[in-house]
Amino acid sequence: MVLDRVDDFTDEYVIQNSDFQHGGPVLRIPKTRKYYVNDHLMLKNKYGAGEFKYYGPKGEFMWLVNENFKNTMKPNRWYLLPQAYSITLY
């Protein structure tokens, strides 16, 4: 899979997918969807019961998920790493 572009019109990440059995040739992931992080970052960014969120130095905000934290991830749903948020396309 390769990040093709960030579509600001639809507010989505557009992913080119080479494995068609997992969602077709193009995947669209909303920029508002939660981001996958490791256990350490989940614990570091806990804000109450079942709330995991990141506040960045430039005002950015992200909800966080990880498979080891109950009910944060949904089955059959794609999640990106936070690095996708910081990609600059030229």
- In the chain, what are the domain boundaries? 2-86
b/e per residue 1-13 (b: at least 16 CB within 10 A):
eebeebeeeeebb
What was the pLDDT predicted at 49? 83
| pTM above threshold 0.85 | no
Q: How remote is the C-alpha of 45 from its chain's centroid?
A: 15
pLDDT at 90: 47
Q: State the maximum Cα–Cα separation within the chain, in Å, rounded to a whole number.
A: 40
DSSP of 29-88: EETTS-EE--HHHHHHTB-STT-BEEE-TTS-EEEEE-TTSTTSS-TT---B-GGGGG--
d(CA 88, CA 64): 21
Which residues of the chain have a pLDDT value below 50?
Answer: 89-90
